[in-house]
């Protein structure tokens, strides 16, 4: 099958039938081998039966949420390509042709762009149209280098295998952002086609919550970008704190009529500590995300982690600690010079604040290095005592030997049965061809067969001894065998006659 159209559904009885029929009509008009999959998320208004009656295949999805419903439908899709769109009749499924053409041309993901295709009056709230979608799409482009203009367009199509390899995890509305972000990080071929958005055909309120779902999108974008969440703010804080701290360590700084003194120096020290901690968090987050597969492998981070060993981190922390302790010692000396009396804060803080800042950063460096080393521990499993390949080969050999033994036993049984049948057949055939006397003698003369002795003894019992030639009397054995009242039969009857 070429194309599956997946629609998430939660109480869409007013519109789901229309969406299904439009999609099936698109298949028929364009000769496409396709299907419509309704990923039902627990509808209670009869949407499931309406969709079936219209020709769709309904897949129940237990886990609630937009992303969960879509992933359930995508997994169940039978097509090589999958298109997804809302079941509220806001998207025109008869316009899937350009999406399918791009997929056939090799694209991994084809996004619709409502801002290029057109948004009808009343189709999107002004807050979403002029603030929410543009800002979140801009953040996505800034953080991840994507070229997509509409991150949250609900109508999109993709190669199923490509999307399944991304390991999408989110269950809510942020699923739309996750797909674009992970596809961008994976260097997929992502293209965009204009699409239109019309007012939906529902009379109830939409499931989308402006502030809650907007925050979930923004949170996802931040969490998947340690660079913008930790690294860049940390570097900014550290730079400002370092510049201000160095300048204020030698005396007040005046800018026009404003004088910056030790109070600002305390703030500069705090900025240094906060910035350094954020940079350490950025490194730790990146290591964890790379190991767990949330983010792709980054060679630059790998070089840093290879260089930043636990020993180097301990050395750096130790040097900062020495600098801090030296500053504290200097402050004590300054206090001693003043006979341990009252000090001028503007002088003493210029020594204490940098020393305390260095001491705090030393512990941050040591703890961060320890934590990075813990994240670097690899999970290993000891090899089994028996090689799985050898064990499997042994099982196969044992099975082969058992089959061979059963086959040999079966052949032996068939051979025995064949010999029995052959001996009986030979006796019957000779009895039919030869005279009665000859039959008895020939049968008695064949001891090689298993049944021959039994057959011969039975023949002797019936016929007596071997038939004698004319003119000679029968042997003694024959006379002893037959009793006075026993009727003669076979060759014995012939001889009596």
pLDDT for 163-173, tens place per residue? 999 989 898 88
Give tens-digit pLDDT for 456-472: 344 343 434 333 333 33
Q: Looking at the predicted structure, is the pLDDT value of residue 257 above 50?
A: yes
CA 490 to chain centre: 87
Q: Looking at the predicted structure, is the pLDDT value of residue 77 above 50?
A: yes
Helix (H) or strand (E) holding 461: helix 452-463
Contact 147, 188 (CB under 8 A): no
Q: Collect all residues with Cβ–Cβ distance below 8 Å to 54 and sequence separation of at least 6.
A: 16, 17, 20, 21, 24, 36
Predicted pLDDT at 496: 37
Average pLDDT on 256-279 reads 91
pTM assigned to the model:
0.67
Alpha helices in 77-129 (DSSP H): 97-104, 114-117, 126-127
Predicted pLDDT at 301: 82
Query: What phi, psi does 277 have (nearest 5°)?
Result: -65, -40
Superfamily of domain 3-223: Spore Coat Polysaccharide Biosynthesis Protein SpsA; Chain A (3.90.550.10)
Average pLDDT on 234-256 reads 90
Q: Looking at the predicted structure, is the pLDDT value of residue 477 above 70?
A: no
Q: Collect all residues with Cβ–Cβ distance below 8 Å to 221 and sequence separation of at least 6.
A: 136, 139, 140, 143, 144, 177, 181
- Give the dihedral sign, CA 363/366/372/375: negative
**Structural domain spans, the chain:** 3-223, 226-375
Predicted pLDDT at 24: 95
Give tens-digit pLDDT for 183-200: 999 999 999 999 999 998
């Amino acid at each position: 099958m070429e194309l599956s159209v997946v629609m998430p559904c939660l109480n869409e009885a007013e519109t789901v039938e229309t969406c299904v029929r439009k999609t099936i009509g698109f298949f028929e008009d364009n000769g496409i081998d396709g299907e419509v999959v309704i990923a039902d998320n627990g509808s209670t208004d009869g949407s499931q039966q309406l969709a079936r009656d219209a020709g769709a295949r309904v897949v129940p999805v237990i886990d609630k949420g937009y992303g969960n419903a879509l992933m359930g439908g995508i997994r169940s899709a039978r097509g090589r390509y999958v298109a997804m769109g809302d079941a509220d009749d806001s998207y025109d499924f008869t316009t899937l042709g350009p999406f399918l053409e791009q997929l056939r041309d090799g694209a991994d993901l084809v996004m619709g762009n409502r801002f290029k295709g057109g948004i009808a009056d009343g189709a999107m709230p002004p807050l979403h149209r002029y603030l929410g979608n543009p800002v979140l799409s801009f953040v996505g482009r800034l953080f991840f280098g994507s070229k997509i203009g509409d991150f949250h367009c609900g109508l999109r199509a993709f190669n199923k295998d490509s999307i399944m390899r991304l390991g999408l995890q989110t269950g809510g509305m942020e699923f739309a952002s996750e797909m674009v972000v992970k596809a961008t990080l994976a260097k997929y071929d992502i293209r965009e086609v204009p699409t239109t958005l019309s007012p939906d055909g529902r009379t109830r309120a939409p499931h989308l919550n402006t502030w809650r779902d907007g925050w979930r999108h923004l949170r996802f974008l931040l969490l998947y970008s340690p660079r913008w969440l930790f690294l860049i703010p940390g570097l900014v804080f550290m730079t400002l704190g370092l510049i201000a701290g160095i300048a204020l360590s030698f005396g007040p700084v005046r800018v026009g009529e404003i004088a910056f003194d030790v109070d600002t120096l305390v703030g500069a020290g705090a900025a240094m500590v906060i910035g350094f901690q954020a940079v350490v968090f950025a490194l730790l987050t990146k290591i964890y995300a790379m190991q767990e597969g949330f983010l792709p492998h980054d060679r630059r981070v790998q070089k840093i982690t290879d260089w930043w060993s636990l020993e180097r981190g301990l050395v750096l922390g130790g040097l900062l600690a020495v600098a801090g302790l030296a500053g504290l010692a200097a402050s004590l000396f300054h206090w001693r010079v003043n006979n341990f009396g009252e000090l001028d804060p503007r002088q003493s803080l210029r020594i204490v604040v940098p020393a305390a800042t260095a001491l705090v950063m030393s512990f941050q460096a040591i703890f961060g290095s320890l934590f990075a080393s813990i994240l670097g521990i690899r999970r290993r499993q000891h090899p089994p005592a028996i090689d799985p390949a050898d064990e499997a080969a042994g099982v196969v050999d044992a099975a082969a030997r058992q089959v061979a033994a059963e086959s040999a036993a079966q052949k032996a049984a068939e051979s025995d049965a064949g010999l029995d049948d052959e001996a009986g057949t030979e006796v019957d055939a000779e009895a039919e061809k030869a005279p009665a006397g000859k039959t008895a003698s020939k049968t008695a003369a064949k001891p090689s067969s298993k049944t021959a002795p039994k057959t011969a003894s039975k023949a002797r019992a019936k016929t007596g001894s071997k038939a004698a030639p004319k003119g000679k009397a029968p042997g003694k054995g024959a006379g002893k065998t037959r009793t006075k009242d026993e009727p003669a039969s076979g060759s014995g009857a012939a001889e009596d006659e």
